Amino acid sequence: MADQPPTVNSDIPENSKERFSLIKEQFVKKFGCEPIFFARAPGRVNLIGEHIDYCGYGVLPMAVEQDIVIAVATQDNGKLNLSNVDSQYVDFECDVAKYEINSSNPVWYNYFLCGFRGMSEMLGLTEPTGMQCMVHGLVPCNAGLSSSSALVCCAALATMQANGQQRSKKEIADMCASCERYIGTQGGGMDQAISFMAQMGTAKKIDFNPLREESVMLPSDVVFVVSNCCVEKNKAASSDFNTRVVECRLASQIIAKVKNLDWRQFKRFADLQRALGASLSEMVAIVGSVLHEGAYMKSEVCEVLGVSQEELAQTSLSANTLQVSEFQLRKRALHVYSEAGRVERFQEVCNTAPPGASGILGSLMNDSHTSCSVMYECSCTELDDLVKICVEAGAIGSRLTGAGWGGCAISMVPSSVVESFLAAVVEKYYQARGLGPRVGEALFATQPGSGAAVYLA
Ligand code: GLA
């Protein structure tokens, strides 16, 4: 499956026909010609395994129905023209061989350009074909459902199709994970992998280096409900995300140094674990004995590693974390190693379905949230409140999903109580905060959706 290219369908699915024809209408209005195909890439919700993909550990997401669709026509004038059905996103035009991706300004078309550039480079094209594109997104922005990666992936897929090429889902996903870093965020590869490798009806365990996927059947007596706390967080617009990536890197390097390994070789906790030949619980013990509580000042990190601040910038920091002066290392490391263990257990429970499986999965989700909130400090008051309300309303498990600091929670709810659950969350969270009008898009049950594909117009 993952070794195959994304499917090219000659028929548009019945339930998408109306939407696709509206996008086509906008396309014709804007460009005065008809699109030749549509590219589609979904957003995702991560069930468990937060902030561990960039540390080399497996995660367990599924695609959501909400997606990005781009209607495309090729043109031979060497131009890329981008327009969005939603007029709050301004039009953009550039030459196919001459444009800049401005990482200090995460405006919408820069994500398109990441996918466009990544695919052009992958195909070895210095002059990819010109394209006219009409974009329509239904993934809520800055909500932890991966709207940005869906756009990067969709743009890459559109560029591949427009240039008449084919690459496997796996290759494209790997490439999209790297090219999204043109925008400055040093994310892992979860979002891009699931956007391409998702399959209707099943969640996926995604592992990295090399990228691989396995289907994970979820219990049939529960429903997964997404709820947006309505605090927006654009991870490319602040240094919070990259600070976490750097903290993980520094923690790996310090432990490597203390264990007499060549610390410069270590950027990820998973590589460190492999080198030490330790289990995840042994790693938790090692972290406890090597890293102290509280913050490490930058000067202390330099002293332990035996480098100057300039050298540290080269070995460990990113452009937007050069100014960070203190790092939490122990808490971050404890989160990552324990969360990696929870993902393994979650997959095992799904696969073996022991008695009380949903209860075990729910506890793992609850523990994951606590660890994200307390140890990784990537939640916010509103999201913590929402998760608490979800559990009180009948969820067996609830946790923040995606990068955090705002955005969505994912809750596992027994099918038998979904209606009362939804009613209680509407009342206790949305109505209580004057967010009643947002309920329609902010609170919804979701099922594992399908991955990225092309549809001929
Ligand atoms: C973002 C990144 C992912 C992952 C999550 C947190 O979505 O793009 O790679 O790190 O945050 O789990």
What does the pLDDT look like over 4-28, one tens digit per residue?
999 999 999 999 999 999 999 999 9
For residue 236, the model assigns a pLDDT of 79
Residue 221: both structure tokens together: 């007596």
Q: Where does 7-217+449-456 sit in CATH, by number?
A: 3.30.230.10
What does the pLDDT look like over 335-368, one tens digit per residue?
999 999 999 999 999 999 999 999 999 999 999 9
Q: Which residues contact 119 (CB under 8 A, 6 or more apart)?
A: 128, 155, 156, 157, 159, 160, 163, 172, 175, 179
Nearest Cα neighbor of 367 from 345, 389, 393 is 345
Q: How far is the CA of 187 from the centre of ligand 1 (A)?
A: 5
Q: Judge whether 67 counts as a catalytic residue.
A: no
For residue 185, the model assigns a pLDDT of 87
Cα dihedral angle (348, 406, 55, 209), rounded to 10 degrees? 70
Residue 233 pLDDT greater than 90, yes or no? no
Q: How far is the CA of 22 from the centre of ligand 1 (A)?
A: 32
Of all residues in the chain, what percent carry a pLDDT higher than 70? 100
**Ligand 1 binding pocket mutation candidate from 181, 190, 369 (most atoms within 8 A of CB):** 190
The pLDDT-based confidence of 179 (bands split at 50, 70, 90) is very high
**Ligand 1 atom closest to the CA of 53, numbered from 1:** 10
Residue 406: both structure tokens together: 């705002």
Beta-ladder partners of 370: none
Q: How far is the CA of 94 from the centre of ligand 1 (A)?
A: 29
DSSP-derived secondary structure letter, 98:
B
Query: Measured over all CA atoms, what is the biggest interatomic distance in the chain, rounded to whole angstroms?
Result: 67
Which residues approach ligand 1 with their CB closer than 6 A?
46, 50-51, 53-54, 146, 187-188, 190-191, 402-403
Nearest Cα neighbor of 147 from 155, 328, 440 is 155
- Could you give the 3-state DSSP secondary structure of residue 220? coil
Judged by phi (left if over 0) then psi (alpha if -120 to 50, else beta), residue 407 lies in: left
CA-to-CA distance for 43 and 63, rounded, in angstroms? Answer: 6
What does the pLDDT look like over 58-80, one tens digit per residue?
999 999 999 999 999 999 999 99
For residue 102, the model assigns a pLDDT of 82
Q: Which residues contact 87 (CB under 8 A, 6 or more apart)?
A: none
Q: How far is the CA of 67 from the centre of ligand 1 (A)?
A: 17
Residue 222 amino acid letter: V
Catalytic member of 53, 67, 174, 191: 191
**Ligand 1 atom closest to the CA of 51, numbered from 1:** 12
What does the pLDDT look like over 156-177, one tens digit per residue?
999 999 999 999 999 999 999 9
Which residue lies with its CA nearest to atom 10 of ligand 1? 51
Q: How far is the CA of 145 from the centre of ligand 1 (A)?
A: 10
**Is 0.85 surpassed by the pTM of this model?**
yes
**Ligand 1 atom closest to the CA of 189, numbered from 1:** 9
Residue 101 amino acid letter: I
For residue 103, the model assigns a pLDDT of 78
Residue 55: both structure tokens together: 């540390």
Alpha-carbon distances, residue 429 vs 184, 262, 370, 382, 442 (angstroms): 34, 50, 19, 9, 11
Name the burial class of residue 290, with classes exposed (0-12), middle (13-18) and buried (19+) by CB atoms within 10 angstroms of its CB. middle
